[in-house]
Amino acid sequence: MTFAVMFYVIAIITLGSALMMVTSTNIFHSALLMLVSFLGIAAVFVLLQADFLAAAQVLVYAGAITVFVIFGIMFTMKGDARKTNRFSKNAIPAAVLSLILIVINAAMVLKTQWPVSSHAPLEETVSSVAELMLTKYVVAFEVTAVLLLIAMIGAIVIVKEVKKPS
Amino acid sequence: MDIFIVWVEIFRHWLTVATGIPILAEIIVKAALTLGVIIFVLLNLIVLVWLERKLSAFFQMRRGPNRLGPAGFFQFPVDIVKMLGKEDIVPANADRPVFLIASICAFLTAIMAWAVIPLGRGLILEDLSIGIFYFIAIGSTGTIAFIMAGFSSNNKYALLGGMRAAAQMISYEIPMVFSLLGVIMITGSLTLSKIVEGQKSIWFIIPQILAFLCYFISSIAETNRGPFDMTEGEQELVGGYFLEYSGIRYALFMVAEYTHLVAVSAIAALVFLGGWNAPFGLTFIPGFIWMMLKIYFMIFLFMWVRWTFPRIRIDHLMHFGWKVLIPVSLINIVLTGIGIFVFRAITG
């Protein structure tokens, strides 16, 4: 009962802030509403007893991604902030595309057999996550690390404008 | 201090019987405890502001506040009354809703860290299994409040202050997290109570002295205090991100800064200085007193540094963070790994 109430409150906050983010005409407000939406997802993780994932969500999305989005907004801002997030004129194609996406997603959600675990939730998730990450999924883990490194080096090269040796 | 835990248990039991709904009783107990923690932090603040004024005066060979009460102790309460009487001004061109919630967000992110900080054995709101990681995650969201304040004020200086705060806090978060990693590797746990229990025989400041220095320097930058207080550099930025704030909203930013200061001092005391473990077998003094002594020792160090060193330049700050602190903290992780391996090889 409590779980259901909590879930619906969190779901309304998450989806509501996501909707307001799209409809807001001030891009700075949109970024902040996106932050609320990220925090809502972290709350969903907490409800699912995935406390490590929730903290990682807060650290990465709320703490880092949103700040970088706001940095981007600050560097490209011109004029009045209240009219920065204008609506596109292609409303009809966008509506059709969104509808198709919603239908596909809904079909997938409804068709999937959701398994219900009979195990009690883990007391400490971090050690199990770490063990899986460094044994079974070590290749994926390392590839992600290399990918992030490449992205970082790429960003530095773009900023520094490395000159060709003549 | 065990008597306190017993009281809470009695209170919880009585509430469960009185209301008949365990969940409601739990919520009321938690709310009461949270209020207790907030009051504790705010009480600390009164001492802290007085201490800062007196210490800064001492380091600069002045007298400091000395008119009201013993050694000027009642200066700050009177200041609060003055603050509350000020007009709450919102600039005409400010982004009104964001401007209004920014100061509350700053305080909220600072106070939320206290959910996992224990002040003695069992004196903790929620002993999460990811304790220290929660502290890091909540600390990282503090940046947003400063950007919100800087951006919504619609003022060049405030915006610059907010940008500096964001750049500085993001850069110094990395060495701060890395310096805590060494300790986590030794104890093998993120739970703060387990980290403290692991320091019964030796405090982690001795094997992790490098990490302690990294943590100390980067937490000065995290709390935006001197010599790293570029965000509010009076000479260049007038006042930084809270330039346009007045009255109680300005006070909230100050409260947030001091709350954050107590929190990072408490983490330093817990992780490196043995928490509530008594040194030299002086166990007749309760753990809570030891914890408070260690927290105030750390706060004294922070204030000492603030009033002794001149403010450094923003680009020097960035260079120092990325080119010195991060490599040093990475080296510390490698050394800790080798140390653990050698230790296991010797002891078997």
* ipTM of the complex as predicted: 0.83
Residue in B closest to A39 by C-alpha: B141
Neighbour tally for A112: CB within 10 Å: 8
Q: Which residue in B270, B102, B241 sits closest to B168, CA to CA?
A: B241
What pLDDT, on the 0 to 100 scale, is given for residue A108?
A: 93
* Chain A residues with beta carbon closer than 8 angstroms to that of B170: 64, 67
A143 pLDDT above the threshold of 90: yes
Distance, CA of A91 to CA of A96 (rounded, Å): 9
Q: Which of the four pLDDT bands, split at 50, 70 and 90, describes residue A137?
A: very high
Q: Which two tokens stand for residue A53?
A: 């994932």
Distance, CA of B148 to CA of B164 (rounded, Å): 13
Whether residue B227 is preceded by a cis peptide bond, meaning omega within 30 degrees of 0, is yes
Asked if B240 contacts B311 with a C-beta cutoff of 8 angstroms, the reply is no
Q: What is the CATH number of domain A1-80?
A: 1.20.120.1200
**DSSP for residue B321:** I
Residue in A closest to B150 by C-alpha: A74
**DSSP for residue B1:** -
For residue B237, which amino acid is it? L
Mean predicted confidence (pLDDT) in A31-45: 92
What pLDDT, on the 0 to 100 scale, is given for residue A162?
A: 66
Q: What are phi and psi of B129, to 5 degrees?
A: -70, -20
A79 pLDDT above the threshold of 70: no
Q: Which residue in B65, B68, B45, B46 sits closest to B55, CA to CA?
A: B65
**DSSP for residue A158:** H
Cα–Cα distances (Å) from A49 to A44, B67, B296, in that order, read 9, 55, 36
What pLDDT, on the 0 to 100 scale, is given for residue A81?
A: 64
What pLDDT, on the 0 to 100 scale, is given for residue B275?
A: 81
Mean predicted confidence (pLDDT) in A102-122: 87
What pLDDT, on the 0 to 100 scale, is given for residue A166?
A: 64
| B:165-194 residues touching chain A, CB 8 A cutoff | 166, 170, 173, 190
What pLDDT, on the 0 to 100 scale, is given for residue B197?
A: 86
Q: Which residues of chain B have pLDDT under 50?
A: none
Q: Which two tokens stand for residue A87?
A: 């609506």
Asked if B191 contacts B131 with a C-beta cutoff of 8 angstroms, the reply is yes
Q: Which two tokens stand for residue B263?
A: 């929190």
Q: What are phi and psi of B232, to 5 degrees?
A: -120, 15
Give the best residue of A37, A59, A61 to mutate against chain B (max B CB count within 10 A): A59
Q: Which two tokens stand for residue B24?
A: 């409601």
CB within 8 Å: B140 and A63: yes
CB within 8 Å: A70 and B190: no
Least confident of A147-156, A157-166, B23-32, B295-304: A157-166
A84 pLDDT above the threshold of 80: no
Residue in B closest to A58 by C-alpha: B137
Using only the alpha carbons of chain B, give its radius of gyration. 21
Q: What are phi and psi of A57, to 5 degrees?
A: -60, -45
